């Protein structure tokens, strides 16, 4: 009897039920899309903020105090980091969060006319195959995304060529009358060579006077095989909180539990600490300009999205609730009739609720699928990458739809049950 009545409603009043299911589907898709986006927006924006370049610099321990102050570049052992240790950066606890890094070596050289020029050796699109099986292209191409290539192109490390190549700054190019395709002779302390200029860049700073080339070419010029001056690391980080600030000052001041929390959270300070652990005699410090601002912008964006999500969730909830109430109220004469022929209150409530819930489940499932579609549209249009759907979205949406549907129908049913069947049937 019960199932027959329900089937009856669902089939005979399918138009009305589809309308309700459709509205519930809209609400559920809205909730799914917004929740998926809001849960993933932090990662996505973090990735975008990588255009500001590295947020961690690693320098040799002794140089961090001596070199910069007394201009003692190139003197003394231990003032360099070791090139062969570079791969270790991708082995730290937060290796997955390290999206990019590049070593740098600064070399003084001179042009044929004797004028001095600063040369920097680095990675451009250095291909790495990590022990984990992961592959990564790291280097300046992405770490200096704001450089404007005026002429030619970026150095391509993966190109198979025997020629030594270099990129020069726009101001140097203008002064020396050089352009892409020209050859330039450079002599360093330990070697000299002809370099093919593949690109002229404009960086908007003092780099415009410099020459950039591949790491080993620069090392050869200076006779500093296997040495590097600094490493720039671009890492995805969690905004600092009090614990992170305390730990950054002195990791020793933490309790064991705090230390574990700190070490296992992607704070910029804990990543720095872990880099120091793997690179011999190094000091890794956050570039505050980038690290700090990232945190601020990330928090604001997240908060903004959370509030927009809350608004749309409230909107969706009220919308569904409203419609469900309306559809129950509309059935006052039907309910009155059932009561008049002797139905118990419990039976009536059970019948109406089952019908509504069945509709809600169908609508909710369709809505969830549509919502995933919407979130992918957002992901691909804005960030050019898919939004990860978190499993926790499913229970949240399910609970939300259930609560909203019940909240919409129960008060209406109770109100109708309180009425006298005669009054309802009479049409009052």
Partner 1 sequence: MITASLMRRRSRMIVALLAIAIGATILSGLVTIYYDVPRQMGAEFRNYGANMIIAPVEEGFTDKAFEEGIACIADEDLVGATPYRYETVRIHEQPLMAAGTEFESAKKTSPYWLVDGDWPSSGFELMIGNNIAENLQIKPGETVSVRYEKESGDSEEVSNEVDFTVTGILSTGGSEEDYVYMALSDMEELTNEKGTLDLAELSVSGGSEKLNAYADKINSGAYGYDARLVKRVTASETTVLSKLQALVLLVTVIVLALTMICVATTMTAVVTERRREIGLRKAIGASDASIIKEFMGEGMMLGAVGGILGSFVGFLFAQAVSVNVFSSSISFRPLLVPITIIVSIAVTAIACLFPIRSATAVDPALVLKGE
Among 17, 36, 39, 52, binds partner 1 (CB under 8 A): 52
What span, in angstroms and rounded, lies between the C-alpha atoms of 192 and 360? 76
Q: Among residue numbers 168 through 227, which ones bind partner 1 (CB under 8 A)?
A: 202-205
Region of 144-152, 212-220, 339-347, 351-359 interacting with partner 1 (CB under 8 A): 144-152
| Placement of tokens 């993933």 in the chain | 40
Least distance CB 289 / partner 1 (angstroms): 5
Site size with partner 1, rule: CB under 8 A:
71
Q: Among residue numbers 351 through 380, which ones bind partner 1 (CB under 8 A)?
A: 374, 377-378
| Placement of tokens 């105090």 in the chain | 65
Among 7, 127, 300, 390, binds partner 1 (CB under 8 A): 300
Cβ-based neighbours of 20, under 8 Å, separated by 6 or more:
323, 324, 327, 356, 359, 360, 363
Nearer to partner 1, 304 or 394 (CB): 304
Residue 108: which of 143, 73, 84 has the closest Cα? 73
Question: In this structure, what is the dihedral angle of CA atoms 151, 156, 160, 164, given to the nearest 10 degrees?
Answer: 70
293 binds partner 1 (CB under 8 A): yes
| Placement of tokens 């579609």 in the chain | 373
What span, in angstroms and rounded, lies between the C-alpha atoms of 232 and 124? 13
145 binds partner 1 (CB under 8 A): yes
Among 17, 35, 39, 45, binds partner 1 (CB under 8 A): 45
Least distance CB 143 / partner 1 (angstroms): 11
Region of 75-83, 188-196, 255-263, 325-333 interacting with partner 1 (CB under 8 A): 325-333
Among 190, 264, 311, 403, binds partner 1 (CB under 8 A): 311
419 binds partner 1 (CB under 8 A): no
Least distance CB 340 / partner 1 (angstroms): 18
Among 75, 129, 134, 148, binds partner 1 (CB under 8 A): 148
Nearer to partner 1, 215 or 323 (CB): 323
Residue-by-residue DSSP string for 333-384: HHHHHHHHTT--HHHHHHHHHHHHHHHHHHHHHHHHHHHHHHHHHHIIIIIS
Q: Where are the alpha helices (DSSP H) in 158-241?
A: 170-176, 215-222
Residue 182: which of 168, 162, 201 has the closest Cα? 168
323 binds partner 1 (CB under 8 A): yes
Least distance CB 160 / partner 1 (angstroms): 32
58 binds partner 1 (CB under 8 A): no
Least distance CB 154 / partner 1 (angstroms): 16
Coil, helix or strand for 419?
Answer: coil
64 binds partner 1 (CB under 8 A): yes
261 binds partner 1 (CB under 8 A): no
304 binds partner 1 (CB under 8 A): yes
Cβ-based neighbours of 386, under 8 Å, separated by 6 or more:
376, 379, 380
134 binds partner 1 (CB under 8 A): no
57 binds partner 1 (CB under 8 A): yes
- Using alpha carbons, list the distances in angstroms from residue 105 to 17, 120, 218: 70, 5, 7
Q: Among residue numbers 380 through 409, which ones bind partner 1 (CB under 8 A)?
A: 381-383
Q: Among residue numbers 73 through 132, which ones bind partner 1 (CB under 8 A)?
A: none
Q: Among residue numbers 336 through 355, which ones bind partner 1 (CB under 8 A)?
A: none
Residue-by-residue DSSP string for 296-316: HHHHHHHHHHHHHHHHHHHHH
287 binds partner 1 (CB under 8 A): yes
308 binds partner 1 (CB under 8 A): yes
What span, in angstroms and rounded, lies between the C-alpha atoms of 291 and 350? 57
């Amino acid at each position: 009897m019960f199932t027959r009545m329900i089937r009856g409603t669902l089939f005979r009043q399918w138009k009305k039920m589809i309308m309700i299911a459709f509205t519930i589907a809209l609400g559920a898709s809205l909730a799914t899309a917004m929740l998926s986006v809001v849960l993933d927006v932090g990662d996505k924006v973090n990735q975008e903020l990588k255009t500001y370049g590295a947020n961690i610099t690693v320098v040799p321990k002794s140089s961090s105090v001596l070199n910069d102050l007394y201009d003692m570049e190139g003197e003394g052992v231990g003032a360099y980091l070791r090139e062969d240790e570079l791969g270790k950066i991708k082995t730290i606890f937060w290796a997955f969060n390290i999206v990019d890094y590049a070593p740098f070596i600064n070399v003084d050289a001179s042009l044929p006319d004797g004028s001095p020029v600063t040369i920097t050796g680095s990675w451009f699109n250095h291909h790495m195959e990590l022990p984990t099986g992961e592959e990564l292209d790291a280097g300046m191409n992405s770490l200096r995304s704001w450089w404007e290539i005026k002429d030619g192109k970026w150095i391509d490390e993966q190109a198979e060529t025997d020629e030594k190549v270099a990129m020069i700054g726009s101001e140097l190019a203008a002064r020396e009358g050089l352009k892409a395709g020209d050859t330039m002779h450079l002599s360093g302390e330990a070697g000299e060579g002809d370099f093919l200029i593949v690109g002229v860049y404009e960086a908007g700073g003092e780099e415009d006077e410099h020459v950039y080339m591949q790491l080993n070419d620069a090392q050869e010029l200076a006779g500093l095989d296997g040495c590097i001056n600094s490493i720039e690391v671009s890492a995805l980080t969690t905004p600092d909180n009090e614990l992170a600030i305390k730990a950054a000052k002195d990791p020793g001041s933490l309790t064991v539990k705090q230390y574990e929390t700190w070490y296992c959270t992607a704070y910029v300070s804990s990543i720095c600490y872990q880099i120091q652990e793997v690179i011999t005699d190094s000091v890794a410090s956050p570039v505050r300009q980038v690290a700090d601002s990232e945190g601020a912008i990330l928090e604001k964006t997240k908060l903004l999205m959370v509030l927009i999500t809350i608004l749309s969730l409230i909107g969706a909830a009220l919308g569904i609730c409203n419609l469900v109430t309306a559809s129950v109220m509309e059935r006052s004469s039907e309910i009155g009739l059932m009561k008049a022929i002797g139905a118990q209150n419990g039976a009536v409530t059970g019948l109406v609720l089952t019908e509504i819930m069945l509709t809600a489940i169908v609508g909710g499932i369709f809505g969830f699928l549509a919502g995933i579609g919407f979130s992918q549209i957002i992901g691909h249009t804005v960030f050019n990458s898919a939004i990860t759907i978190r499993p926790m979205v499913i229970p949240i949406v399910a609970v939300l739809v259930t609560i909203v549907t019940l909240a919409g129908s129960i008060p209406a049913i109770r109100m109708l049950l309180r009425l006298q069947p005669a009054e309802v049937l009479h049409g009052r």
